[in-house]
Amino acid sequence: MASVPRPRQVQVAVVDWLDRRFPFTSSVDEALYQRVPNYANAFYYCFGGMTFILIALQLVTGVFLAFYYVPDVAGNPAPAYTSVQHIMKDVYLGWLVRGVHFWAANLLVVMIVLHMARVFWTGSYRAPRELNWMVGVIMLLVVLAFSLTGYLLPWDTKAYWATSVTIQIIAGTPILGGLLQSLAQGGPTLGPATLQRFFTIHVFLLPGAILLLMYVHFRLIRQHGISEPM
């Protein structure tokens, strides 16, 4: 009677199978195992890691919310408000998921600002890391765009009028103000087209942008290492 393979044997066999077709082990070792300088144990070096964790948390909770969120039906944006109330009151732990998504979004802005302040204070923006600093600034703008587009999605009174004020500020941009306002609103006034555009940007465009920027950011960190404090 043949013996049943042990879990350890199955694990080794699977890893060997992957290694023969793709450099699986070396890729994992490169991603997970890297010598960290002693000075990086200071508490202010954790802001970057916290930013990454919060972004990952936003993506995960955002997917759960998207399962139940309805931006509009046949051009009527009313289901957006109704679906948010359904998430908060009827969906199991929906209130918790939305609460985590909301507060993590606020904390994310704080953490990314603290991280950039640490980078500036320790001089980590200097050559050869100035390109990574530029990528970080773009990531901050993307995070702010997440906050702006996500604020309208509940489609309640506060979200409507706050977004209206924001669009009016955008309209005050020299030369391009009118064009930017039209692109944001999707029409002459804030309405269903605005909600649809904000939802599309928030759920499709910005997550792709932040994932790409995070990949570039981490690759540049691996390329140049963690900078020493001044």
Partners of 76 in beta bridges: 73
Are the beta carbons of 153 and 202 closer than 8 angstroms?
A: yes
* 3 confidence band (pLDDT: 50, 70, 90): low
Are the beta carbons of 206 and 145 closer than 8 angstroms?
A: yes
**Percentage with pLDDT > 70 across the chain:** 97
**Cβ partners under 8 Å of residue 145, min gap 6:** 201, 206
What value does the mean pLDDT of the chain take? 90
Asked whether the bond before 192 is cis by omega within 30 degrees of 0, the reply is no
Opening angle at CA 40, ends 35 and 43, nearest 5: 140
Alpha-helical runs (H) found in 93-129: 94-121
Is the four-CA dihedral 80, 86, 88, 94 of positive or negative sign? negative
What is the signed CA dihedral for 4, 6, 7, 11, rounded to 10 degrees? Answer: -100
Provide the pLDDT for residue 4: 58
Residue-by-residue DSSP string for 120-178: HHTTTTSTTSHHHHHHHHHHHHHHHHHHHHHHHTT-SHHHHHHHHHHHHHHHTSTTTHH
Sole residue written with tokens 């977004």: 163
Rg over CA atoms, the chain: 22
pLDDT, one tens digit per residue, over 139-189 is 999 999 999 999 999 999 999 999 999 999 999 999 899 999 999 998 888
Q: Is the pLDDT assigned to residue 1 strictly greater than 60?
A: no
Can you identify the CATH homologous superfamily of domain 43-223? Cytochrome Bc1 Complex; Chain C (1.20.810.10)
Q: Domain spans of the chain?
A: 43-223
Please choose, from the candidates 95, 98, 133, the residue with its C-alpha nearest in 3D space to the C-alpha of residue 116. 133
Provide the pLDDT for residue 86: 97
